[in-house]
Amino acid sequence: MNFGPDDEIKLTALIRLKVIKSHLEQSSYNRQKKEYFYTVPEGKLTQEQRDFYEKNGYIVVKNLISEEKLEKYKQRFQEICAKKIQVPGMTVMKDVAIAKSEFLEGEKAITKIQDFCYDDELFEYCSLPEVIEYVKSFLGNNVMAMHTMLINKPPDPGTLTSRHPLHQDLYYFPFRPAERIVCAWTAMETINRQNGCLVVIPGSHKGEFLMHDYPKWEGGVNKMYYGIQDIDLDKANLVHLPMEKGDTVFFHPILIHGSGANRTRGFRKAISCHYAASESNYIEVTGTIQEGFKKEVEEIAKKRAGSEVDLKDIWRYKSRLVCGERINL
């Protein structure tokens, strides 16, 4: 077949267009690889949501969990508070102000339960498909539930002990990388500034991992409520996160966050789970800014077990595979 001059021109132009398109696609791919550091292509996050999380370190998904499921978790919590159910390994906590006052029965005495990973009814929250579809956008397909909590923030008695100091969750975790850890935190009722909603500093997940210690509050501080010591609140860009029942916020473990005092007469409930990719690894935190936490936790574990217990083994015990394969954690 013979080509004329016009055909050669068209063919040359077509080849050039294909080369340009290939360069543009490669350039786009390279930009995407560089841009998305805190999220992965799996999961349900839209590109807009990924962009928001990459920039801010958190994303709120509205109306993610049904009222029916949250009521079931609330009833389970009440049964645990009434001691109708005993769950091995679960930690039941009181607010320091309640602990120092006359004893209160049942739900009003308990401000938080931790490590409910072996209670199948509460652990259902951690494995809900509607939650995991988003979690995979941060971690990939091999997902471990590492830390579980149901928080029952009490009405503040005037001591402001119901608040939680600004902190970074990574302080509690002896595993890395931080980019493959995420928290899902769901409001079990309307949460606002009056009853102590979460407050965050957007973008702080890109900053430093800071020194933590117990705040020197006059009314006392709850056990394990560590806070960042040197932070200028006047210069901090604090953003409050009011949420409705079923709304869920996903956030990075270096994101600086906390919550205010509950100035209402009711209890403010939320349920949460910290997840990590099972490809992650445990690290040794002795000699780091996490050493104080390590010593405190190991001392508590020693009193309970009657023998020395390593922090990494404690985390191995209270973690549970959600989906995929358990690799390192």
Percent above pLDDT 70 for the chain: 85
- Over residues 228-249, the mean pLDDT reads 90
Contact in structure between 135 and 182 (CB atoms under 8 Å): yes
Name the pTM for this structure. 0.86
pLDDT of residue 216: 82
Contacts 24+ apart (CB under 8 A), 282-290: 282/174, 282/175, 282/312, 282/315, 282/328, 282/329, 283/174, 283/175, 283/176, 284/174, 285/174, 285/311, 289/171, 289/209, 289/210, 289/211, 289/212, 290/171, 290/172, 290/174
pLDDT of 100 > 60? The answer is no
pLDDT of 5 > 60? The answer is no
Q: Is residue 2 part of a domain?
A: no
Please, which pLDDT band fits residue 44 given cuts at 50, 70 and 90? very high
Q: Is residue 105 part of a domain?
A: yes
Q: Is residue 221 part of a domain?
A: yes
pLDDT tens column, 254-311: 999 999 999 999 999 999 999 999 999 999 999 999 999 999 999 988 888 888 899 9
281 is in which domain, residue-wise?
Answer: 34-323
- Over residues 57-80, the mean pLDDT reads 96
Q: What is the CATH number of the domain that holds 171?
A: 2.60.120.620
Q: 54-68, 81-95, 168-182, 250-264 — which is least confidently predicted?
A: 81-95
Provide the mean pLDDT of the chain.
Answer: 87
Contact in structure between 128 and 167 (CB atoms under 8 Å): no
Q: Is residue 6 part of a domain?
A: no
The total of structural domains in the chain comes to: 1
Q: 6-15, 38-47, 118-127, 308-317 — which is least confidently predicted?
A: 6-15
Beta carbons within 10 angstroms of residue 46's beta carbon: 10
pLDDT tens column, 158-202: 888 788 899 999 999 999 999 999 999 999 999 999 999 999 999
pLDDT of 222 > 60? The answer is yes
If one compares 253 and 236, the residue with the highest pLDDT of the two is 253
Going 13 to 14 to 20 to 23, the CA torsion angle's sign is negative
pLDDT of 30 > 50? The answer is no
pLDDT of residue 101: 47
Contact in structure between 45 and 39 (CB atoms under 8 Å): yes
Q: Is residue 29 part of a domain?
A: no
pLDDT of 46 > 70? The answer is yes
Q: How far apart are CA 22 and CA 127, in angstroms?
A: 41
- Over residues 17-24, the mean pLDDT reads 51
Q: Is residue 15 part of a domain?
A: no
Q: Is residue 54 part of a domain?
A: yes
pLDDT of residue 135: 98
pLDDT of residue 102: 44
b/e 171-193 (16+ beta carbons within 10 angstroms → b): bbbbbeebbbbbbbbbbbbebbe
pLDDT tens column, 102-114: 445 667 778 899 9
pLDDT of 23 > 70? The answer is no
pLDDT of 54 > 80? The answer is yes
pLDDT of residue 98: 58
- Over residues 307-325, the mean pLDDT reads 94
Q: Is residue 285 part of a domain?
A: yes
- Over residues 240-267, the mean pLDDT reads 96
- Over residues 202-215, the mean pLDDT reads 93
